[in-house]
Amino acid sequence: MSIVMTGGGTGGHLTIIKAVKEHLVGENLIYIGSKKGQDQAWFANDKQFQSTHFLDTQGVVNQGILGKFKSVFMLLKATIQARKTLKDSKAKIVFCVGGFSAAPTSFAALTLRIPLVIHEQNAAIGSLNKLLRSKAKAFISSYEEQSPIRAYPIKNEYFEKSRIRENIQTIMFLGGSQGAKAINELALELAPTLKEKNIKIIHQAGERNISEVEKAYEALGIQAEVFGFSTKISDYMEEADFAIARSGASTLWELSAMACPALYIPYPYAAADHQFHNAKFLVDQDVAWIMREKELNVEKVIELLDENMHEKSIKLQSMIERDGALKIAQLLKSI
């Protein structure tokens, strides 16, 4: 009997699987994903999975008529393959984190009457998860009060390094490992003011932008710690008193677990505008700020630098539950 994990395409989905499976040591785990996206890079050589399967699939959303037809044909073929894998592995449950990678296995689970548990990372529910929700044994979302588990599955190190912020002595710009042009440009516009206020700069500029951004800081005569991808992101977050960041689910919940207040600048082309809705969830509770790219105003951002972060930091620390990944793993085993 095995636990089958499916979904991905992007790191936001795959991070959930990675976090949960760390609490399923000793279980017979199978991963079924897609040949497209990041699935193979993350899990093709992961020894915790007894076997991994990568199917030929692609997203249906944002495709033309011919593209949609091709995607549906690929989905049907992949669903048949997924059914065989579920039968051969004697799957007792399927854990779905969404994304086009998850579709074949999720549909196959339903046809075989295998319990399906869904984790939705974002405040705006993804197309596949929205379709599957009513058929699922459990639907987990940190944004919904009726969710059986409210804690977001992130590593405990983010909670362990949590601290209450006061005034801003260090600021962190987070554009993700690929970088964000709008955040990079905003950081460089703010840099002279940050220097005047003696605020240290930590800047995740993106792997491809490191050299360009470093040179820009040098031209301004300003010191900044610039990087792209980093395995010590939690250390940087711990040092920061305030962050300016994209609002992908992992980044948002990691900063929140750290009790680090942030100004979120959502990626404007995210599916269903989910990054905006992620950030709005926190803004509605008065623990964060949000500005769309087209509304970015340097003067308004500068005003935030004089804010006392104490109240928002305390609120964040009290509202964020821990052990999300452990609780999900326990739920899977109980079913």
Q: Check whether 228 is labelled as a binding-site residue.
A: no
Q: Is 7 annotated as a binding residue?
A: no
Cross-strand pairs, 180: none
Alpha-carbon gap, residue 324 to 154, rounded angstroms: 7
Q: At 40, give phi and psi (nearest 5°).
A: -65, -40
- Residue 28 annotated as binding? no
Q: Is 11 annotated as a binding residue?
A: yes
Distance CA 137, CA 13 (A): 19
By DSSP bridging, strand 289-290 and strand 91-96 are unpaired
Contact 104, 92 (CB under 8 A): no
Strand 91-96's sheet: what is its strand order?
A: 49-55, 29-34, 2-6, 91-96, 116-120, 138-141
For residue 181, give the amino acid letter. K
Which residue, 73, 64, 57, 74, is CA-closest to 8? 57
* Residue 226 · residue 203 · CB < 8 Å: yes
Tokens standing for 96?
Answer: 């779905």
Written as six digits, the tokens of 61 are 């959303």
What is d(CA 309, CA 330) in angstroms, rounded to the nearest whole number? 36
Residues with Cβ within 8 Å of 13's Cβ and at least 6 positions away in sequence, in order, are 7, 97, 98, 99, 101, 102, 121
Distance CA 181, CA 248 (A): 16
The rounded distance, in Å, linking the Cα atoms of 334 and 221 is 58
| Structure tokens given for 57 | 């699939």
Q: Tokens in use for 133?
A: 């929700």
Residue 254 phi, psi dihedral angles, 5° rounding: -65, -45
Question: Annotated binding residue at 122?
Answer: yes
> Does the annotation flag 45 for ligand binding?
no
Annotated binding site for UDP-N-acetyl-alpha-D-glucosamine: 10-12, 122, 177, 275
Annotated binding site: 10-12, 122, 177, 275
